[in-house]
Chain A
Amino acid sequence: MTLAIFAPLLIAILIPFLSKWKHRIHTGWLILPVPLAIFIYFLQYVGADFQTATSTLSWVPSMDITFSFYLDGLSLLFALLISGIGTLVVLYSIYYLNHKERLGHFYTYLYIFMSSMLGVVLSDNVYALYTFWEFTSLSSFLLIGYWHFKERSRYGALKSMMITVFGGLSMLAGLIILTVVTETTSIQGMIEQSDVIVESAAFPFILVFLILGAFTKSAQFPFHIWLPDAMEAPTPVSAYLHSATMVKAGIYLIARFSPIFEGVPSFFIIVSIFGITTLAWASYMAVRQTDLKAILAFSTISQLGMIMAMLGFGTSAAIFAAVFHILNHATFKGSLFMIAGIIDHETGSRDIRKLGGLMTLMPISATLAIFGTFSMAGVPLPFLNGFYSKEMFFGATLELGGYTGSFVETLIIAIPWVAVIGSIFTFVYSMYLFFGTFRGKFDESAVPQKPHEAPLMMLLPPAILVLGVIIIGIFPNIFNYSLLTHSAAAIYGESVSKEIYFWHGFGWPLYMSMIVLGVGTLLFLTKKYWEKIYIVLPGKLSFNRVYDWMMKRLETSSEKITSFYMTGSLRHYMIMILVSIFAITGYYLWISDGVNFNFNDVAPITATEVIVAVIMAIAAIGTTMAKNRIAAILILGIVGYGLAILFVLYSAPDLALTQLIVETVTVVLFLLCFYHLPNLTKSEDTLTTKGTNLFVALGYGLLMMFIGISAYNTTFNEPISKFFIENTYKLGGGDNAVNVILVDFRGIDTLFEVAVLFSAALAIYAMIKLRKNKEAK
């Protein structure tokens, strides 16, 4: 199983090496067997006596992260869809993309996607699941932006990336909380502890984060906006990622975790409301679109909303219908995308307003499309699988219950109505899609190419999918016991046994279907009369606008904030640094009660010290007042020499000597640099600037004073100085304790201080010499 998951990835590595033959044979042919082999591999698990299978590959055992794969009915259904439709999409893309495209890139991305999608549905470890999850986002990003020279492609790719990664990250947060709560990284382990999870305090966060992840990935309302823009991808990508696989990752996530959330009212409310809203809103919006792929994109959103709603219902009938619809949707939507691609390929246009009357020109495509669209609409014909699942969906909406509360009760009454309204629009856009494209008059001047039927091999993949539609339609129970009941059981937690009938007998589901059929036909025929309603709703209400506005605001406000504090003025940065030190240190000093004013341990103050200190203080203040730079330098010298005198007074001869000479050298250097400096211009500082400076300087000085005095009065340990004084001669062989410390006890400090001097000298030398060379040039 592990090999099956990683096989596409391994092949993706080899694809660049295949480019040698790419002029003779299309890359797609060379790698087509891979998904087919995976499909066949997973097919062997199908059967009424299905057993779960596991396989583990160690990854980061210390953190309990493994590639542990768990194959149950749900994973199997998805794995079959991924590999099966993957095979068909690769076959289709061979004819869709010609040699001039960068095929190596295309198939590499596609196979990375295939691997990661298989990983998502088969992983039992939540972190492995997340890894694969982000890989699907990443490869989807690459695939949407495949024609990167198109601006719309880049926009769509970025948008889908932003939204799905946002969801992916919140999902990661949810998974981390889950791991912390349950102390396991295995999904099955978590399901076993569902009581612990539901009762934990973090449960609302788990729920919201996981649902956010699932909703963004599955394009649920209001995160659906990335999917229509993702239609800029090549059509095989749209068919594969954005109808059959990636968008169902969110569905899979909810399905996978629903045994945990089973019976939780908030889960039911959130998922049902959003699912049903997505269903109604997207099908309503789909009628408005003029681009074939945009109609299909909104249709996908709507169908995903329907599946999501059914997962939210959580009854065994609803879950069975959801699983059934996952399979049905993948078959008919995949075929419809491929047909839309064929029409685009053969006529050069996807605009439904320009198309029409293609039935006689492209009879096979039209035949295939009729099955796809009618199945999508849920037309009650015994060979269309869409009808079965739609009927079961209606049935499920009527059987809700088990939750109490007035809000929930209103919701339960409202859901069937919304479902019917959504389905009416589903019917309308399905009819519109078919009749708008294939019936009516063919206008040769409107389309760039003269249309003709696509090559047979290009028609083969959609034909196979349509065949799937029909087989499921005629013999639904073949799939039922071998696959669907196992999948539903995996979600529901106990075994689900259900017979699928075409004829449910007279009952509300049938009446609802009839209403959909009747009102839908009426609305479709009168479409041009009520189309104006779209000016009112959505009118200017568009989530794309919200997204664009948010992205723009994000950019402008971060730019504003950055330009607010990144002024480029050193003075401002200095203020920020000092104020931050003041605030953080001062606050800590305050809360830790660290201020310690205690003058018991103070040596007597002599008059000399006072005089020197006063002179230094005057000189320091004078430096700030000086109008002339030379004066400032010289007055600063006074402070330095005063310090040297203080060192003498405190019996530090070495320090005094060094200070004296260093001060002299500094003043000399200052004076040397003086010639390079411009004259002091009288800075016209405003009063506020001066006030701020004064305030910051005073505050910082006071803080340092507080710290100094408090530090002096706070001794935690015996000072080390005693040891030095006692051992200077014994160990260091000298009488000068300072020097012995410098060269012997703490020689390494001195060594590196010398190194500091060394680099300073080098830097100054280099700076001056290099500047000369630059000027010479």
Chain B
Amino acid sequence: MKRTNDLILRTTTQLIAFILLGFSVYLFFAGHNNPGGGFIGGLMTAAAFILMYMTYGYERITRILPLNFRLVFVTGLLIATLSGVGAIFFDQQFLSQADGYFQLPIFGEKHLATAVLFDLGVYLAVVGVTMTIILSIATDQKSDEVEESGV
């Protein structure tokens, strides 16, 4: 993946990427009560990453963000599965979710649901999957050669 030398793009990306990331986190947490959720949140995060990759090039972003996205989606799948397995220890069926109001030290009384954990798994998996697919194709040797030859 070649990086562009467009100053305007690079400047706006610095801003937009973080807005995108912030929005994706919002979407993720909003999921239970408003439109959004792990899937969309994950895709949005991936979109932000892709924008960064497109602007700054593969090498630099990999240096700043040394993430192995294959590990990310494995972790996501693991969290999603384990959140379901957890229910078994409370004599519930697999993937039963629970929710309740908790008094937390900093946030005050909050409504928490185990479904969020499951959604977190989905979120991570989606990010990992999307990034793995796009980066594998994008960093494929052959595509670079074609690009260099100017097609």
Enumerate B110-146 residues with CB–CB distance to A below 8 Å.
111, 113, 115, 118-119, 121-122, 125-126, 128-130, 132-134, 136-138, 140-143, 146
Q: A758 near B125 (CB under 8 angstroms)?
A: yes
Which of A57-65, A170-178, A532-540, A749-757 binds B?
A: A749-757
Which one, A653, A669, A734, A760, contacts B115 given CB within 8 A? A734
- Quick one: given A672-B143, A734-B113, A743-B119, are A661 and B73 in contact (CB under 8 Å)? no
Q: B132 near A654 (CB under 8 angstroms)?
A: no
Q: List 6 A-B contacts (CB under 8 A).
A: A733-B113, A736-B35, A739-B37, A743-B37, A757-B126, A758-B73
**B125: min CB distance to chain A, Å:** 5
Enumerate chain B residues within 8 angstroms of A743, measured Cβ to Cβ: 31, 37-38, 97, 115, 118-119, 122
Enumerate chain B residues within 8 angstroms of A742, measured Cβ to Cβ: 37, 39
Q: A661 near B47 (CB under 8 angstroms)?
A: yes
Q: B73 near A757 (CB under 8 angstroms)?
A: yes
Enumerate chain A residues within 8 angstroms of B141, measured Cβ to Cβ: 772
**B99: min CB distance to chain A, Å:** 3
Enumerate chain A residues within 8 angstroms of B27, measured Cβ to Cβ: 657
Task: Report if A664 contacts B (CB, 8 A).
Answer: yes
- Quick one: given A733-B99, A736-B33, A747-B97, are A761 and B137 in contact (CB under 8 Å)? no
Q: A757 near B125 (CB under 8 angstroms)?
A: yes
| Interface residues of B, Cβ cutoff 8 Å to A | 27, 30-40, 43-44, 46-47, 50, 70, 73-74, 76-77, 80-81, 84, 94-95, 97, 99-100, 111, 113, 115, 118-119, 121-122, 125-126, 128-130, 132-134, 136-138, 140-143, 146-147, 151
Q: A751 near B81 (CB under 8 angstroms)?
A: yes
A672 to B100, CA, bound (A): 45
A761 to B138, CA, bound (A): 14
- Quick one: given A675-B146, A750-B122, A751-B81, are A733 and B132 in contact (CB under 8 Å)? no
Q: When each residue 711-752 of chain A gets 1 if its CB lies under 8 Å from chain B and 0 otherwise, what string results?
A: 000000000000000000000111110111011100110110
**A99: min CB distance to chain B, Å:** 64
Q: A754 near B143 (CB under 8 angstroms)?
A: no
- Which 4 pairs of residues, A with B, have the shortest CB-CB distance? A733-B99, A734-B32, A653-B35, A735-B33
A746 — nearest CB in chain B belongs to which residue?
Answer: B95
**B119: min CB distance to chain A, Å:** 5
Q: A748 near B94 (CB under 8 angstroms)?
A: yes
Give chain A's interface residue range (CB within 8 Å of chain B).
35 or more
Q: A744 near B40 (CB under 8 angstroms)?
A: no
| Interface residues of A, Cβ cutoff 8 Å to B | 653-654, 657-658, 661-662, 664-665, 668-669, 672-673, 675-676, 732-736, 738-740, 742-744, 747-748, 750-751, 754-755, 757-758, 760-762, 764-765, 768-769, 772
A732 to B81, CA, bound (A): 19
**A723: min CB distance to chain B, Å:** 16
Q: B136 near A768 (CB under 8 angstroms)?
A: yes
Q: B97 near A761 (CB under 8 angstroms)?
A: no
**A83: min CB distance to chain B, Å:** 64
Task: Give the number of A-B contacts (CB < 8 Å).
Answer: 147
Q: A676 near B143 (CB under 8 angstroms)?
A: yes
Q: B40 near A657 (CB under 8 angstroms)?
A: yes
Q: B136 near A765 (CB under 8 angstroms)?
A: yes
Q: B36 near A654 (CB under 8 angstroms)?
A: yes
A772 to B126, CA, bound (A): 26
Q: A769 near B136 (CB under 8 angstroms)?
A: yes
B101 — nearest CB in chain A belongs to which residue?
Answer: A733
Q: A676 near B115 (CB under 8 angstroms)?
A: no
A738 to B76, CA, bound (A): 21
**B118: min CB distance to chain A, Å:** 5
**A712: min CB distance to chain B, Å:** 26
Q: B111 near A733 (CB under 8 angstroms)?
A: yes
Enumerate chain A residues within 8 angstroms of B134, measured Cβ to Cβ: 665, 668-669, 672
**A662: min CB distance to chain B, Å:** 7
Enumerate chain B residues within 8 angstroms of A751, measured Cβ to Cβ: 80-81, 84, 95, 118
B115 — nearest CB in chain A belongs to which residue?
Answer: A743
**B122: min CB distance to chain A, Å:** 6
A676 to B146, CA, bound (A): 8
Enumerate chain B residues within 8 angstroms of A735, measured Cβ to Cβ: 32-34
**B18: min CB distance to chain A, Å:** 18
B128 — nearest CB in chain A belongs to which residue?
Answer: A761
**A645: min CB distance to chain B, Å:** 15
**A260: min CB distance to chain B, Å:** 60
Q: A736 near B111 (CB under 8 angstroms)?
A: no
B95 — nearest CB in chain A belongs to which residue?
Answer: A747
Which one, B34, B99, B130, contacts A736 given CB within 8 A? B34
Enumerate chain A residues within 8 angstroms of B132, measured Cβ to Cβ: 761, 764-765
B119 — nearest CB in chain A belongs to which residue?
Answer: A743
- Quick one: given A735-B33, A736-B36, are A672 and B73 in contact (CB under 8 Å)? no
- Quick one: given A665-B43, A675-B151, A733-B99, are A758 and B77 in contact (CB under 8 Å)? yes
In the complex, besides A750-B118, A758-B74, 6 extra interface pairs with C-beta distance below 8 angstroms are: A747-B84, A747-B95, A747-B115, A751-B118, A761-B128, A768-B140
A740 to B130, CA, bound (A): 23
A755 to B33, CA, bound (A): 25
Enumerate chain B residues within 8 angstroms of A657, measured Cβ to Cβ: 27, 35-36, 40
